[in-house]
Amino acid sequence: MGVLGRGGFGVVYRARHITIDREVAVKVDTRIILDDRDQRRFLREVRAAGRLSGHPHVVEIHDAGVLPDARPYLVMELCPGGSLADRVPMPPGEVAEIGQRIADALAAAHDLGVLHRDIKPGNILVKRYGTVGLADFGLAALVEAGRDSSVTLAALTPAYAAPEAFHLHPPTPQSDVYALTATLYTLIAGFPPRFPREGELSVPEIVRRHDTPVLDLPGVSPEFMAILRRGLAKDPAHRYPEAAALRADLSQLTVGGLAGPRHAVTSAVTTVAIPSTPAPSTPTPPPPSALSAPPSSGSSPPPRKPSWRRRPALLAAAALATVLVLLAVGWFVLDGLQPDQRAADRSTSPTSAPTSSPPNADVFGVRTTSEGCPAARVKGGEAACTRRAECWSGMFVVQGEVQNIRTLPCEQGHPFETFAIAVVPGDVADPYQDVLEAHPVVKKVCAKEVLVASRFGDALEIAPERWEVSVLPPTPGDREQGRDNVYRCLGSITDVNSVAGSAFRPRN
């Protein structure tokens, strides 16, 4: 075991994984995390980052943990080619290709709810077969380990940190976009944007320099400079909205005089595919299986015949007749009761679905239903199910508050889907994620049993122990619309990065 390198916050050792006779890199961080909650958060984020290990441009994580002296460590893929910090300056064409690959890795991370927070040339490594990979996912969670300004500022790499970080704003996907763009600039120029070639800058000077323009680089096309300037915009609203948008422009960039990117310095690039609406005369295909992998950009999987079509029509007719008879009998029985008797029956039946309508779209922002909704049976939960499947990207939670999340078409790969939506309990003043997770009513609404009972179709074939529940506090979109009293229960499959299709609600 030997030392591969040392940095501001850790030491990297070369080691051998004895069981499978494989060389690995072990990074031991010098920061300590004594608080049990922060240790759990670190391990939770590392597990989320571990889902990225199959990406060709992410350095694979083999293991992680916390040493007895409270120092965290990562066991990673060994990258014998070192980092790109040792190779600057580089030709613009090669940098554009590297940027496209790393932006793709970053887009995949953001879709899983993982921020990197420390992108720089030293964290882009050359893997065994010459490809580049982004390293140090997971250790970035330590940026907020102390939850105070001194820890946050000390954890930054100033030359690559987004301007808003110096004002102690929470990290976002746009912060990662800034850091990646600053890295690309450095790989070409040999020094970071708005920084001198040599010497250190004070924090006030760094903040002042963020107002200065980004100068042209010799030998770099105007199209490439336009991409760099957009990614380095001081205002996050003027930056690329996501890593996928930066990747899209880099993919269209040809250094050497041919056509440049179509999107540079114009409008935001939208990368989410919107499913087309079928013509009225064309039958709507059934939803993709909840087990299916996300469809490729070039084609969609052939529709599967839903299982109910294989059942004999006679059984369906018989079932319909039985339901009608039961409804008729129930109507006559209920009609014989006095109104106060019916109300008493409803109030003393906590496990039956409520007969009153669930809160409407003015409360939740989406259409809901209590029919066939296990969550609606929770007494006092004020919960319902969405009428249409609601699928989500990964979420970014900072100190219990969701900073960024977006809805995705369910046909597209997604890690989360809503299985219940509810009103925040009245005794919760601040609906932070950890506060909601600890509340007894929320625990009942978002219980594993409710998730398992909410599945339909192919999702029923996935074993209950493979499902995981997450509580989604009011989203930024909810807060903008004044709905800061709404939370959701999300389901995901623990051993799958993302799925395509709906697991909890058929699409009406």
The average pLDDT across 203-219 equals: 91
Beta bridge partners of 492: 468
Q: What is the pLDDT of residue 334?
A: 38
- Please check whether residue 483 is in contact with residue 443, taking contact to mean a CB–CB distance below 8 angstroms: no
The average pLDDT across 498-506 equals: 84
The average pLDDT across 212-232 equals: 94
Task: Give the residue carrying structure tokens 């709810």.
Answer: 113
Please identify, in words, the CATH class of the domain defined by 2-251.
Answer: mainly alpha
Instruction: Give the closest residue to 160 by CA, choosing from 136, 172, 139, 176.
Output: 176
State the chain's mean pLDDT as an integer: 76
Alpha carbon dihedral 317, 323, 329, 334, in 10-degree steps, equals -150
Across 34-43, 275-284, 379-388, 399-408, the highest mean pLDDT is recorded for 379-388
Q: What is the pLDDT of residue 234?
A: 94
Structure tokens at 324: 């009608």
pLDDT bin (cut points 50, 70, 90) of residue 228 is very high
70: amino acid identity, one letter? A
Q: What is the largest CA-CA distance in the chain?
A: 89
pLDDT in tens, 326-363: 444 344 333 443 333 333 333 333 334 444 444 555 68
CA angle 382, 388, 393 (to 5 degrees): 90
Instruction: Give the closest residue to 120 by CA, choosing from 13, 69, 195, 14.
Output: 195
Task: Give the residue carrying structure tokens 């066991």.
Answer: 75
Query: Of all helices (H) and strands (E), which one includes residue 318?
Result: helix 313-335
How many C-beta atoms surround the C-beta of residue 57 within 10 A? 20
pLDDT in tens, 45-94: 777 777 787 899 999 888 888 898 888 888 888 998 899 999 999 999 99
Q: Is 455 a catalytic residue?
A: no
Is there a binding annotation on residue 127? no
Q: Over 90: is that where the pLDDT of 311 sits?
A: no
Q: Over 70: is that where the pLDDT of 138 sits?
A: no
Of residues 51, 117, 488, 505, which has the active-site annotation? 117
Residue 50 phi/psi, 5-degree rounding, is -60, -25
Instruction: Give the closest residue to 41 by CA, choosing from 121, 115, 132.
Output: 115
Sequence spans of domains, the chain = 2-251, 353-493
**DSSP per-residue letters across 460-499:** GGS-GGGEEEEEE---HHHHHTT-TTEEEEEEEETT-S-B
Q: Over 70: is that where the pLDDT of 286 sits?
A: no
**DSSP per-residue letters across 106-136:** HHHHHHTT-------GGGEEE-TTS-EEE--
Across 122-126, 156-160, 401-405, the highest mean pLDDT is recorded for 122-126
CA angle 256, 260, 262 (to 5 degrees): 170
CA 31, CA 374: separation in Å to the nearest integer?
A: 45
Query: Of all helices (H) and strands (E), which one includes residue 94?
Result: helix 92-111
Is the dihedral angle over the CA atoms 355, 361, 363, 368 positive or is it negative? positive
The average pLDDT across 229-256 equals: 88
- Please check whether residue 366 is in contact with residue 390, taking contact to mean a CB–CB distance below 8 angstroms: yes
- Of the chain, the percentage scoring pLDDT greater than 70 comes to 73
Q: What is the pLDDT of residue 104?
A: 95
